[in-house]
Amino acid sequence: MMKIAPSLLSCDFTELNQEVRRLEEAGADYLHYDVMDGRFVPNISFGLPILEQLRKITDLTIDSHLMIEEPERYIEAFAAAGSDIITVHVEATRHLHRVIQQIKQTGKKAGVTLNPGTCIEQLMPVLQDVDLVLVMSVNPGFGGQSFITSMVDKIQFLNDYRMQHQLAFEIEVDGGINEHTAQLCRQAGADVLVAGSYFFKHEDYKTPTSILRGE
């Protein structure tokens, strides 16, 4: 079954506890936690203190997406603060394989992110080591962007590759997800859909959860 990961970047942080309760009741699988440093992407979001508070109020899987330069400097801190999955960008570090091993050594799942302009070949040396591949279907840094349709080909390639090589990483897609683009992602082989603006515009969070799953 398709997993749904609401992006907390779009939630009401004045009511964080209530928002998390509603997401749990709606059947969300992951909480997608976007971390931006104003350097790797042209925006700044939240960091460790909010993550620590979030961990105290939920048992849901926290999927920390690090859009930051030199993520190796913060892996242990994000693991200790409560992340279950830590995902880094190919372009953000000089030693991708080392960072993946660093994440694994904390006992957390390791993910790697593919930007729209990043060649998929850059992931080949590490695909056997990761638990998740995040395909960005918009350029990272801001919510509310339109889905880049050509990213469906990357999803399909990754799905074919893992079946051919009997790998078990999840394929997650983030950016411009709605009822129409979710169908394209499901058909191409995605396992996890991240949704922000589309998800939180609904009053009843069970509605987008069901729609995005294709139920």
Active-site residues: which are they?
A: 34, 174
Cα–Cα distance, 81 to 145 (Å, whole number): 29
User: To 5 degrees, how large is the angle CA 72–CA 56–CA 174?
Assistant: 55
Cα–Cα distance, 13 to 53 (Å, whole number): 12
